[in-house]
Amino acid sequence: MNNVQRIRSSILKITAGLAMAVATTASAQTFSLLHSFAGVPNDGANPMGSLILSNGTLYGMTSQGGVAGSGVVFKMNTNGSGCTNLHSFSAYAGNGESPNAGLVLSGSTLYGLTPAGSSIGLGLVFRENINASGYTNLHSFAGAPKDGAIPYGSLTLANGKLYGLTMHGGTNDLGLLFRMNADGIGYTNLHVFVGYPSDGGYPMGDLILSGTTFYGMASEGGPGNFGTVFRLNIDGTGYTNLHSFAGYPSEGSGPAGSLTLDGSTLYGMTQQGGANMKGTVFKMNTDGSGYTNLHSFAGGAGDGASPQGSLTLVNGWLYGMTPFGGASDYGVVFRVSTDGSSYTNFHSFAGGAGDGATPYGSLMLSGSTIYGMTYYGGTNNEGVVFTLSNLPPAPPTSLTIIYTNNQAIVSWPSSVSGCTLQTNNDLTKGTWSNYTGPIISNAVTNSPTKGNLFFRLRYP
């Protein structure tokens, strides 16, 4: 509340009103199936990763299906039509097998990882053109001690170079972070994980890049061996463990997904830990401070359980999926507010021909529509592509009042914009009027004398 200007007002008691915009209920959202996978030999099956979108086309991978049953790279239109296999993995030397993550697109070229395949079966880095030509094995992982092995995430492309994590490999076979050129040369290990107690181990998920800094998570390591959040510079220097998870009951443990960055705040999920040992949603600052559990999953009909993907930030809500929990224990799509005060099961997967089941990946946002995939469900129980549309507006914002030294400071988060501050001196019969005094740094200061005055934020 720096430089807040004092203003006169005839009030003695100030009561905060909540913002007028109430979050739309989950029942107003629209869930639709776009595609039911059919499996071998002409379609993919059992996707575990996430979708990407470019020029009205969705691209993704499945862990099974295709000609050899080892998974495919596919594309489809956003309305569900035109699903086409761009590449069928075959598990032979030089080819991949069972991809479990998403793709990265640069120009007309897709890049990805598989955790198996290659000459010794430890996974590879590949590229494929969007016109179904030019499949190339860029790097076959060789494993410990000098190379990575079994990647469990997606690549990050920056300045013409590919970055990624492998769950195994390196000196201690606890995984590593690597870099290579987009043409497949110049492979370099930037960090080799050491594990308990001072480092992470078995990293999973993707790297998140902000400026010249990467952020990521390891599923094990740290003093309690419950996993870590780490950062390092894009050139491989400055590796730092930002947070070591403490596990049940106060924190999560065993993260199996990726972080989401918003400003200087990191959001993420853990597969285990929390009050019910079914995983958590958490947030923390990029300097490692301010770790907070936003939600402990409980499973059952009313909640999700054991998340393995990442969160998607939409209109001030965090959206994600869990592979278990919900009414049928086939997982849920959920949303939680960034302060943890509101949690809702958005959709409980039911399986069968009309719904998906058991999602392992993450959601992808385009405009006001979310796209996702599930491992099972659909007509053939081989998994589906689905959408959620008509998403709710931002969650209502609470005003905060601090009363000290005969002054009342009314404030609200600096991230809130597009609202009007209003006042009312009688909630039973009075009318709300727009506040006309000065507002500095999303706050007003009053020197009370007598009477009541109520405040609220009104959304358009």
- Do 6-21+397-458 and 26-389 have matching folds? no
d(CA 81, CA 102): 20
Q: Give the pLDDT score at 24.
A: 31
Q: Which pLDDT value is given to residue 415? A: 58
DSSP state of 107: T
List the structure tokens of 246.
Answer: 């403490």
How do residues 17-54 score in pLDDT, each as one tens digit?
333 322 233 446 789 999 999 999 999 999 999 999 99
Task: For 156-166, write each residue's pLDDT tens digit.
Answer: 999 999 999 99
pLDDT higher at 368 or 90: 90
Which CATH code fits 26-389?
2.120.10.60
How many C-beta atoms surround the C-beta of residue 77 within 10 A?
14
What pLDDT sits at residue 407?
A: 74
Would you state the torsion angle of the CA atoms of residues 307, 309, 315, 316, taken in this order, to the nearest 10 degrees? 60
CB of 109 closer than 8 Å to CB of 97: no
Burial of 288 (0-12, 13-18, 19+ CB in 10 A): middle
* Predicted local confidence at residue 426, as pLDDT: 79
Q: Quick one: pLDDT band at residue 2, thresholds 50, 70, 90?
A: very low
pLDDT at 350 over 80: yes
Q: pLDDT tens digit string along 246-279? A: 999 999 999 999 999 999 999 999 999 999 999 9
Distances (CA, A) of 420 to 347, 360, 398, 408: 33, 41, 13, 19
Q: Please state, in angstroms and rounded to a whole number, the distance separating the CA atoms of residues 412 and 422.
A: 13
Each residue of 139-151: pLDDT tens digit? Answer: 999 999 999 999 9
Q: What pLDDT, on a 0 to 100 scale, did the predictor assign at position 18?
A: 37
Exposure b/e, 106-129, CB count within 10 A at least 16 = b: eeeebbbbbbbbbeebbbbbbbbe
pLDDT of residue 449: 54
Span 373-387, pLDDT tens digits = 999 999 999 999 999
Q: For residue 47, say if its preceding peptide bond is cis, omega within 30 degrees of 0.
A: no
pLDDT band at 230 (very low <50, low <70, confident <90, very high): very high
The C-alpha atoms of residue 9 and residue 406 are separated, in whole angstroms, by: 12
Residue 64 in contact with residue 89, Cβ under 8 Å? no
Every domain of the chain and the residues it spans = 6-21+397-458, 26-389
Q: What is the share, in percent, of the chain residues with pLDDT greater than 90?
A: 72
pLDDT, tens only, 308-343: 999 999 877 899 999 999 999 999 999 998 989 889
How distant is the alpha carbon of residue 279 from its chain centre?
A: 14
Tens digit of each residue's pLDDT (9 = 90 or more) over 169-227: 999 999 999 999 999 999 999 999 999 999 999 999 999 999 999 999 999 999 999 99
Question: Sign of the CA dihedral 90, 95, 98, 103?
Answer: negative
Fold assignment, 6-21+397-458 = Immunoglobulin-like (2.60.40)
pLDDT > 90? residue 455: no
In the chain, the N- to C-terminal Cα span, in Å, equals 25
Residue 7 pLDDT exceeds 60: no
pTM: 0.83
65-74, 193-202, 447-456, range with the lowest pLDDT: 447-456
Instruction: List, for residues 384-427, the tens digit of each pLDDT value.
Output: 999 998 877 666 666 787 877 777 788 877 656 667 888 888 77
